[in-house]
Amino acid sequence: MEDKSNIIGIIFDFAIHLEEENHFFYNECALKVRDKEAKDMFNFLANEESKHRDIVINLKNKYLMDSDEEYQIGEIESGNISTEVIDKDEIVEKYDLLDVLNRAIYVEKQSIKLYKNLLNEEFPGYVKDALRRIIEEEERHLSILENEMKSVTDVGAFVDFREVTY
C-alpha cells in the first residue's frame, strides 16, 4: 500500500496540473481571439486559474507538513474526471468561438467535479474551506462562460475563432 502522504501528494499534484492546463488553455484563447470582450474574458479566466494553482500548492504544502494530524483518504473517483490534455493548437486551428466556449465549459465542469470529489475526503477544515472557495470560483467561471455562450448564440453573432492575430 502506498504511503498516505504520497497518495495525497499525487491528488494535489493532479489538481495543480489541472489548474496549469486550464491557465494555459485560457491564455492561448486570449492570445488568438480577436473579439475584445472574449479576449478580456479569457485573460481574466487565465489569471483566475493561476491563482487557483497557487492556492492548491499552498494547501498541499501546509497539509503535507501537518505531520501531527492523522487523516484518512479514500479513493478519489478519478474515473469521473477527465485527465485528457487539451491540444491548444488544435483548438485554435480547427474550432470557432462556440467550440472554444463549449470546451471551456467542459474544462470548468471537470474542475468542479474534481474539487467536489475532494470535499468527500477526510481533509481538515482549512482544506475543505479552501476547496469550497475554489468550487465557488469555478462555478462563477462556468456561469461567465455560459453567459458568454448565450450572448453569442442569442445575438446570432458568430465569431470565427480561426481569425487569429499574429
Is residue 146 predicted with pLDDT exceeding 90?
yes
**3-class secondary structure for 96-147?**
CHHHHHHHHHHHHHHHHHHHHHHHCCCCCHHHHHHHHHHHHHHHHHHHHHHH
With CA atoms as reference, report the closest residue to 114 among 61, 56, 28, 41. Answer: 56
- Give percent of the chain with pLDDT exceeding 70: 71
The set of residues, in sequence order, having a beta carbon less than 8 Å from that of 161 and lying 6+ positions away, is 32, 33, 91, 92, 95, 96, 97, 99, 100
Average per-residue pLDDT in the chain? 77
The total number of residues shown for the chain amounts to 166
All structural domains of the chain with their residue ranges? 4-154
When pLDDT is averaged across residues 38-63 and rounded to a whole number, the result is: 90
Angle subtended by helix axes 125-154 and 36-65, to nearest 10:
170
pLDDT, greater one: 110 or 161: 110
CATH number 3.40.50.300 is the correct assignment for the domain at 4-154: no
pTM: 0.71
